[in-house]
């Protein structure tokens, strides 16, 4: 029944493709605005850069599961049982897809926002990235929103309710649409995130960074997305809607054993990074390839997928998988 309701809503909302089909493991042909990218420079390209830390922990897709979010943050050593920040100078990077598929995505977003502020006060950081599901919701593509998540935004109606894009939606969806429409409360929160971030010598992204993304400009993509989410533009930029966009591509993690390592090396070299960490494509456990230069960290830890709670710890050149089901060494 949920699938049927989701399909009906998609038709009512006029949503576009949603989840793309699996991509080939070879690097796809550039599409959209990225196809006309300028040639690469020999110097590292512009990207959002944050200083490294003695300890960095990466967390993959959370998909509206508050318990899984708390488990992952506690496994990382970021928060205690009262959700208070205990990580000190720890840097946590969450690679997007906090919403959809689960009933608690508003609570997940709110917890991450409060934790981000607490981390900053304590001298640490919680770096939050946008994934394809954040992009979809700002684009009013609600096919993967659960009934519980529609209800959670029941009190969010505001001045955008008269927007012609909101008016034709089913009544139960209007409050969420008001919150996520470009310029809405939660869209503006997401606008403060980036699509990619280089923390120390590790490049983080939801789907993957391909060489033509680097040539197009990772900071340029961030600026385009932020402007759209803030309401300066009513159309999502092609840099995040193309099938091979940084939030959509599965070129690396669909089959890590057959990953295009030469493309990975080119992209890493373009930004001056040692490794790339990605979510988006569910793995049976955190997976590495290309001699430790790429890490696929979406393990489907939310209730929707039922996967394990795992996070990736980075300390200098050393990487280690932390698993909630295993005692710490």
Q: What positions carry a catalytic annotation?
A: 133
Q: Which long-range contacts (CB under 8 A, 24 or more apart) does 156-161 make?
A: 156/185, 156/186, 158/184, 158/185, 160/184
Cα distances from 259 to residues 193, 210, 254, 296, in angstroms, run: 28, 12, 8, 11
Q: In what order do the strands lie in the sheet with 202-205?
A: 49-50, 196-199, 202-205, 275-278, 294-296, 287-289
Please name which of 53, 86, 59 lies closest in space to residue 311, comparing C-alpha atoms. Answer: 59
Contact 180, 157 (CB under 8 A): no
Tokens of 315: 């300390």
**How many C-beta atoms lie closer than 10 Å to residue 56's C-beta?**
25
Contact 200, 53 (CB under 8 A): yes
Please name which of 289, 309, 329 lies closest in space to residue 57, comparing C-alpha atoms. Answer: 309
């Amino acid at each position: 029944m949920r699938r049927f309701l989701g399909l009906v809503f998609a038709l009512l909302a006029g949503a576009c493709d949603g989840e793309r089909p699996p991509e080939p493991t070879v690097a796809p042909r550039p599409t959209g605005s990225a196809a006309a990218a300028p040639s690469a420079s020999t110097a590292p390209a512009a990207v959002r850069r944050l200083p490294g830390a003695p300890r960095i922990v990466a967390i993959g897709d959370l998909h509206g599961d508050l318990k899984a979010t708390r488990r992952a943050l506690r496994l990382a050593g970021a928060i205690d049982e009262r959700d208070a920040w205990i990580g000190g100078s720890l840097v946590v990077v969450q690679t997007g897809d906090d919403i959809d598929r689960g009933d608690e995505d508003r609570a997940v977003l709110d917890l991450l926002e409060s934790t981000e502020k607490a981390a900053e006060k304590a001298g640490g950081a919680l770096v939050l990235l946008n994934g394809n599901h954040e992009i979809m919701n700002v684009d009013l593509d609600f096919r993967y929103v659960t009934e519980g998540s529609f209800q959670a935004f029941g009190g969010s109606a505001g001045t955008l309710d008269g927007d012609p894009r909101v008016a034709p939606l089913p009544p139960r969806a209007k409050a969420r649409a008001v919150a996520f429409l470009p310029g809405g409360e939660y869209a503006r929160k997401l606008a403060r995130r980036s699509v990619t971030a280089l923390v120390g010598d590790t490049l983080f992204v939801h789907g993957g960074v391909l060489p033509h993304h680097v040539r197009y400009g990772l900071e340029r993509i961030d600026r385009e997305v932020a402007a759209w989410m803030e309401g300066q533009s009513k159309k999502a930029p092609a840099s995040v809607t193309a099938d091979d966009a940084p939030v959509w591509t599965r070129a690396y993690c669909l089959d890590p054993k057959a990953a295009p390592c030469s493309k990975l090396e080119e992209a890493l070299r373009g930004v001056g990074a040692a490794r790339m960490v990605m979510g988006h494509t569910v793995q049976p456990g955190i997976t590495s390839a290309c001699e430790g230069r790429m890490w696929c960290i979406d393990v489907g830890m939310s209730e929707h997928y039922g996967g394990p709670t795992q996070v990736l710890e980075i300390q200098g050149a050393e990487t280690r998988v932390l698993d909630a089901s295993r005692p710490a060494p």
